[in-house]
């Protein structure tokens, strides 16, 4: 029932950000305190009781969920941002997504080798952005416990780019 309420709140926006894309708008979930709280609770459960040192969130909507999950788990929060948005020394990697190419960055001192990491985002589509974040985390020696998303667009098979990492989706569309 909890996931059904979240699913019902997601708004499909046709042809955004370009023709042919159906954008999954999660702002109705964010605007409803009960739904937002429930989404964070469900994402926290994906850690499976493992102690998480840092929750890594992907720019930009992933920050919203990851920061709240980090707070609940008593972990630090680390942002993976688009190129040029972080003020310190960074590592970066290029990737492709369903409507273009981009580069993401991570502060090179954000993760210590061996730290347990939960990677969180709002949506898993083709897996390009998450795979880029995983690459950066691997370069820093992170112990990625799992990748957790609110929504997975299963038909795009993004999960395959993340194997063998465990991927947890609250909702599959």
Which residues are annotated as catalytic? 61, 98
Q: Is the peptide bond before 102 cis (omega within 30 degrees of 0)?
A: no
CA 51 → CA 70, 78, 127, distances in Å? 11, 16, 25
Q: Is the peptide bond before 116 cis (omega within 30 degrees of 0)?
A: no
Output the six-digit token pair for 93: 């990697």
Q: Closest Cα partner for 130 from 53, 58, 47?
A: 58
Sign of CA dihedral 30, 43, 9, 100: positive
Residue 149 contacts residue 6 (beta carbons within 8 Å): no
Tell me the pairing of strands 90-97 and 143-152. Answer: unpaired
Q: Closest Cα partner for 97 from 51, 147, 153?
A: 153
């Amino acid at each position: 029932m909890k996931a059904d309420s979240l699913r019902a709140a997601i708004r499909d926006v046709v042809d955004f950000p370009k023709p042919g894309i159906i954008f999954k708008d999660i702002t109705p979930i964010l605007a409803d305190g009960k739904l937002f709280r429930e989404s964070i609770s469900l994402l926290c459960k994906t850690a499976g009781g493992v102690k998480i040192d840092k929750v890594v969130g992907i720019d930009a909507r992933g920050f919203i969920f990851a920061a709240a999950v980090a707070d609940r788990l008593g972990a630090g929060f680390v942002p993976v941002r688009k190129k040029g948005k972080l003020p310190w020394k960074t590592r970066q990697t290029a990737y492709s997504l369903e409507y273009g190419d981009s580069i993401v960055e991570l502060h090179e001192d954000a993760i210590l080798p061996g730290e347990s990491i939960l990677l969180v985002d709002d949506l898993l589509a083709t897996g390009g952005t998450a795979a880029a974040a995983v690459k950066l985390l691997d370069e820093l020696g992170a112990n990625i416990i799992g990748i957790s998303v609110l929504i997975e667009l299963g038909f795009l098979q993004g999960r395959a780019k993340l194997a063998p990492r465990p991927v947890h989706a609250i909702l599959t569309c």
